[in-house]
């Protein structure tokens, strides 16, 4: 029911009300954006969320590999490479927990990606059948391991190394 007291009717008779409405909505928008910007500045996890959201918007149908590569970087590619070149009964010697790429210094993460293969640290190196070769860390298993900063997998039984083709753009 429309009467003279109806707000829309009053608004029509008072043109200034529309200006007020636009000003208030604009003010709310500015306040919201300012609060969001402030939160973005002080909250690193929010920055990461925005990055993830932008990636999802750009690539809505990205594959599992694409998504994991964004989150884990080259560590993901390396673990995929190891899985492809290691028998299921193998046990891999991983980098120490202090390694600069933390995903590669964790037996738990290695087990997740390499299951049913097992993973161990140096304290159980005697169980290992293979060892990681990653830039910045080489297993202490003799002098036959090349010291180049390349990514590879060494078979501890034969000493044979399988190198990962990381491409020219990779570190």
Partner 1 sequence: MSIMGIALTLLSGWLLVDIVKPALSTLPKLALGWGFGLALVTVGVYLANVLLGAPIATPLAWAWPVACNAALITIRWIVRQRLSPPSRPPARPRAPWTMLEAWLCVILALGILVTIVQALYWPFFDWDSLATYDFKARLMVLQGNVNVREYSNVGIGNWDYPPHIPLSYSLIYLWGAAPPKIIIALFYVSLVVFFYHSATQTASRLGSLLSALALILTPTIFLWATHGMLDLPATYYLGAALCLLEEWARKDDRPSFLLAGMMLGAACWTRTNALAFGLSCAAWALLLGIWHRNWPVRHWLAGLASVFGATALWQVNLVLGLGRPFMGGAGVFDAGLLNLPRLWETLAGLAVQLLDPRLFGVAGWMFLAAIVLVPLKRARAFASLTLALFVLLTWLAVFYGWTVGESRTVTLFDSGQRVLLNCIPILLLHFVREPALIQPVDAINAWLQRFVGWPAPGPAANG
Write out the residues near partner 1 by the rule CB under 8 A. 7, 10-11, 14, 17, 20-21, 24-25, 28, 32, 39, 42-43, 45-46, 49, 52-53, 56, 60, 64, 67-68, 71-72, 102, 106, 108-109, 111-113, 115, 118
Q: How far is the CB of 104 from partner 1 (least distance, A)?
A: 13
- CB of 147 vs partner 1, minimal distance in Å: 30
Nearer residue to partner 1 within complex by CB, 110 or 133:
110
Element (H, E) at 91: strand 91-93
Nearer Cβ to partner 1 (130/152): 130
Nearer to partner 1, 118 or 155 (CB): 118
Q: Output the CA–CA distances (angstroms, integers) from residue 23 to 11, 16, 19, in the order listed.
A: 15, 11, 6
Cα–Cα distance for residue pair 70/105, rounded to 1 Å:
19
The DSSP secondary structure of 50-66, one letter per residue, reads HHHHHHHHH-TT--HHH
What's the CA angle centered on 146, arms 141 and 150, to 5 degrees?
110
């Amino acid at each position: 029911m429309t009467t003279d007291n109806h707000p829309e009717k009053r608004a029509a008779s008072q043109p200034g009300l529309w200006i007020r409405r636009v000003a208030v909505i604009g003010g709310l928008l500015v306040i919201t954006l300012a609060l969001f910007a402030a939160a973005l500045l002080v909250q690193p996890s929010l920055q990461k969320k925005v990055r993830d959201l932008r990636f999802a918007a750009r690539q809505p149908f990205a594959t599992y590999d694409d998504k994991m590569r964004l989150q884990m970087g080259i560590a993901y590619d390396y673990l995929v490479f190891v899985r492809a070149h290691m028998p299921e009964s193998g046990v891999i010697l991983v980098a120490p927990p202090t390694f600069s790429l933390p995903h590669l210094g964790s037996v738990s993460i290695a087990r997740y990606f390499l299951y049913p293969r097992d993973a161990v640290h140096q304290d159980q190196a005697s169980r290992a059948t293979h060892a990681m070769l990653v830039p910045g860390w080489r297993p202490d298993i003799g002098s036959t391991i090349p010291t180049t900063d390349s990514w590879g997998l060494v078979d501890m039984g034969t000493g044979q190394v399988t190198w990962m083709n990381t491409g020219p753009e990779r570190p």
